[in-house]
Structures are given as structure tokens and as C-alpha cells.
């Protein structure tokens, strides 16, 4: 493990970039944070100058000035940090019994859960809750939520008894992401208990305090969830055509 990595985390506030400061705080790896405000909903030009897609998080590794690394995609960034500077901590190694479970839950957040929630929000905005296209998406989200809940009723953390980066990847879907797509966690006792455990982690509190000091962390961890970002709800209901978010 390198003794003093120099890492810069670019984070668009109130967004999934929060995963990276959280991971770094868990691993006690130093970093500097560049914060961006939504403009008004998507990335400001300053973040697009860092990464053309303007998608947060972005990690810059300037440890070795001659070979600066710039990396986007939260999953890729987590893996980069864990394996390059974290000595593999917060991951599960191939020889361990729960390796496949770790991989599955690490990827489930961005590959299935989050796209499902996003599709449901789009369907609500575009065709309304009475439409079968919304109902179909809502039913799929319901199945996914019960699947996560079932897992967390019999395991302390997603990959098993140890906290891992799978929890870091998934945490935002049930906390801050609920500002964009509501999830009422009534009846999901497994997820509720897991969120409570997340809220007890000092590293999570430290990261959120640095990344989004204006965000109410308790609301994000609550059963009913935080208030919605109004501009996002309006954007989801926009009809096709030129629009500036």
C-alpha cells in the first residue's frame, strides 16, 4: 500500500459521488474534495471540464505527477481505491466463501437497483401512475426491494457479516437517492436495520459532513425518506423536446 496517495474526489452534491468520500473515510485514506452544485439539476460546466460526461464521481490520482490517473464510474473508482491503496480491505477475496455474494451485491446497486428506480421515476413523470408502464416498473422495483430486504434480514451487511464496499455502493440508493425517487421503507425491516447500522458508522457521518454538509442525514436514513428535489420531479414530467435542466 502506498504511504501517502494524493487523491482528488470530484463530487456533484446531493448525488452518488458521496460513495467515494465514504469509502475513503472508512479506509482512512487521505483525499481532497472538490464540490460542485447542480446547475440547476445536472452538472455545472466546471465538472464537465473535468470529465466530458459531467457525471460524478470523478477521481483524480495525482500521487505520481508523471502519470496522473483520472477515473469515473463509482464502481470502478471503489475498486481502484480498494486495490491500489486499501490493501484489498472492504472487498472479499476470491478464495473467501462469500466472494460471489460480494461481487453480486457490489454490482447490483448500479446495474439493477438504480436503473430500476430511475425507470420507475421516468415512467411516473411521462405516463403517470395509472399507466401500465408505470405499474410494470413499480412492480419490478417492488421485487428488487424485497430481494434486498430478504438479504438484509439474515445478514448484517450485504456481502455477509462484514461491512464491505457493496454496502457503500448500495447505501446511496436508500439514502440520498430517495430525494429523486421515493421509497417508503415501511415493512422493509431488514433494510431499515441496515440503514440504522450505516448511520452508526463514524466514517459515513464524517464523509457526509464533508461532502454534503447541508444535507439532513437523518432524513436520508429515515423510514419515510427525505423530501424530494422538486426540480427533478418536474424534469421527469417534461414532454419530449429541447429542454435545459
| Burial group, residue 1, by CB count within 10 angstroms (0-12, 13-18, 19+) | exposed
For residue 175, state whether it binds ligand GSH (rule: CB under 6 A).
no
| CB of residue 43 to ligand GSH, shortest distance in Å | 4
Measured between alpha carbons, how far apart are the two ends of the chain, in Å? 42
| CB of residue 77 to ligand GSH, shortest distance in Å | 7
For residue 192, state whether it binds ligand GSH (rule: CB under 6 A).
no
| CB of residue 167 to ligand GSH, shortest distance in Å | 15
Of 38 and 160, nearer to ligand GSH (C-beta) is 38
Q: Which of 73, 96, 162, 219 binds ligand GSH (CB under 6 A)?
A: 73
Number of residues that bind ligand GSH (CB under 6 A): 12
DSSP letter at 41 equals: S
Grid cell listed for 182: 421515493
For residue 110, state whether it binds ligand GSH (rule: CB under 6 A).
yes
Q: Which of residues 2-61 bind ligand GSH (CB under 6 A)?
A: 12, 15-16, 42-43, 54-57
Of 98 and 110, nearer to ligand GSH (C-beta) is 110
| CB of residue 176 to ligand GSH, shortest distance in Å | 8
Q: Under a CB-based contact definition with an 8 Å cutoff, are residues 14 and 36 in contact?
A: no
Of 54 and 160, nearer to ligand GSH (C-beta) is 54
Of 229 and 237, nearer to ligand GSH (C-beta) is 229
Tell me how far CA of residue 77 lies from CA of 19, 65, 72, 81, 127, in angstroms.
Answer: 10, 19, 7, 6, 36
Closest of 202, 206, 175 to residue 191, by C-alpha: 175
Q: What share of the chain is helix, strand, coil (3-state, %, to 5)?
A: 55, 10, 40
| CB of residue 33 to ligand GSH, shortest distance in Å | 15
For residue 215, state whether it binds ligand GSH (rule: CB under 6 A).
no
For residue 121, state whether it binds ligand GSH (rule: CB under 6 A).
no
In the block, which residue shows the cell 470502478? 76
Q: Strands across the sheet with 69-72, in order?
A: 32-36, 7-12, 58-61, 69-72
Task: Summarize as ranges the residues that interact with ligand GSH (CB under 6 A).
Answer: 12, 15-16, 42-43, 54-57, 73-74, 110
Amino acid at each position: 500500500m502506498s504511504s501517502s496517495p494524493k487523491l482528488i474526489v470530484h463530487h456533484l452534491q446531493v448525488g452518488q459521488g458521496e460513495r467515494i468520500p465514504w469509502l475513503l473515510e472508512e479506509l482512512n485514506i487521505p483525499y481532497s474534495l472538490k464540490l460542485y452544485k447542480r446547475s440547476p439539476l445536472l452538472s455545472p460546466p466546471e465538472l464537465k471540464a473535468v470529465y466530458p460526461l459531467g457525471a460524478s464521481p470523478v477521481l483524480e490520482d495525482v500521487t505520481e505527477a508523471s502519470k496522473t490517473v483520472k477515473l469515473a464510474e463509482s464502481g470502478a473508482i471503489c475498486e481502484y481505491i480498494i486495490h491500489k491503496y486499501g490493501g484489498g480491505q472492504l472487498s472479499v477475496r476470491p478464495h473467501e466463501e462469500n466472494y460471489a455474494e460480494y461481487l453480486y451485491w457490489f454490482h447490483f446497486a448500479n446495474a439493477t437497483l438504480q436503473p430500476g428506480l430511475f425507470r420507475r421515476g421516468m415512467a411516473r413523470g411521462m405516463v403517470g401512475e395509472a399507466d401500465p408502464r408505470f405499474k410494470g416498473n413499480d412492480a419490478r422495483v417492488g421485487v428488487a426491494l424485497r430481494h434486498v430486504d430478504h438479504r438484509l434480514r439474515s445478514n448484517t451487511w450485504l456481502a455477509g457479516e462484514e461491512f464491505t464496499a457493496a454496502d457503500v455502493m448500495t447505501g446511496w440508493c436508500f439514502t440520498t437517492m430517495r430525494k429523486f425517487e421515493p421509497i417508503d421503507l415501511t415493512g422493509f425491516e431488514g433494510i431499515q436495520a441496515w440503514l440504522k447500522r450505516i448511520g452508526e458508522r463514524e466514517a459515513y457521518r464524517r464523509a457526509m459532513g464533508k461532502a454534503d454538509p447541508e444535507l439532513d442525514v437523518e432524513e436520508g436514513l429515515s423510514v419515510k425518506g427525505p423530501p424530494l428535489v422538486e426540480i427533478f420531479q418536474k424534469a421527469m414530467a417534461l414532454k419530449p423536446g429541447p429542454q435545459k435542466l
